[in-house]
Amino acid sequence: STVLMVMKAFVGLIGGSQAMLADAMYSLKDMLNALMVIIGTTISSKPLDAEHPYGHGKVEFILSMVVSVVFIVLTGYLLVHAVQILLDESLHRTPHLIVLWAALVSIGVNVGMYFYSRCVAIETNSPLIKTMAKHHHGDATASGAVALGIIGAHYLNMPWIDPAVALWETIDLLLLGKVVFMDAYRGLMDHTAGEAVQ
């Protein structure tokens, strides 16, 4: 995820693609999730002590909330930038074809990681790995949208497609960030399952 994020961000900048920059956020999301799981699991597995008689389990929710807020702010900046470019025709530029090749590489890597994660999830019955597989599937879909946008910009002479794809991606990312934030909030507040379940 880290390598993909750096590649997408670099290619997005030099290739002039807002959609690819937004796509890099999907890889950043995966990288932060993996880091959060490692740190959260390490801390939450610590034994009880005098200062933490109920354990350290809440740390995962705190980390999730902090990461989601940072993620939402960064994505919000990209969304505003994409809207500005989309509405100003003088800013419409056809991205370089290198962006298309980077998107295809990203699709290939994420599809491979999806099937690998899916197989491991089936063997281990791990909900965490199942979630990772879904993330890889979503990343492949986002890179596919970038590829279609580049094709449309180049061969259909519609450069506005690139910022339009970026807008769609950032809205999707904001919704994902909101879900992570709300899940973390419910975890911190010890949210109940609801009357129907109880």
Q: Cα separation of 11 and 102, whole Å?
A: 7
The one-letter amino acid at 51: E
Please tell me which of 96-105, 131-140, 187-196 the model is most confident about, judged by mean pLDDT.
Answer: 96-105
Give the residue with greater pLDDT, 187 vs 79. Answer: 79
CA of residue 135 relative to chain centroid, distance: 7
Higher pLDDT, 121 or 150: 150
**In the predicted model, is pLDDT for residue 63 greater than 60?**
yes
Answer whether 129's CB lies under 8 Å from 169's CB.
no
CA 121 – CA 33 distance, rounded (Å): 17
Which domains are assigned to the chain?
2-188 (1.20.1510.10)
- For the chain, what is the HEC assignment? CHHHHHHHHHHHHHHCCHHHHHHHHHHHHHHHHHHHHHHHHHHHCCCCCCCCCCCCCCHHHHHHHHHHHHHHHHHHHHHHHHHHHHHCHHHCCCCCCHHHHHHHHHHHHHHHHHHHHHHHHHHHCCHHHHHHHHHHHHHHHHHHHHHHHHHHHHHCCCCCHHHHHHHHHHHHHHHHHHHHHHHHHHHHCCCCCCCCCC
- Token pair listed for 65: 């909330």
User: Do residues 61 and 191 make contact, with C-beta atoms less than 8 angstroms apart?
Assistant: no
Closest among 127, 112, 118, 134 to 26, alpha carbons compared: 134
Model confidence at 53: pLDDT above 70: no
pLDDT tens-place string over residues 145-161: 999 999 999 889 999 99
Would the pLDDT of 45 be above 70?
no
pLDDT of 44 above 80: no
**Euclidean distance between CA atoms 107 and 155, whole angstroms:** 21
pLDDT of residue 77 exceeding 60, the answer is: yes
Most confident of 71-75, 122-126, 189-193: 71-75
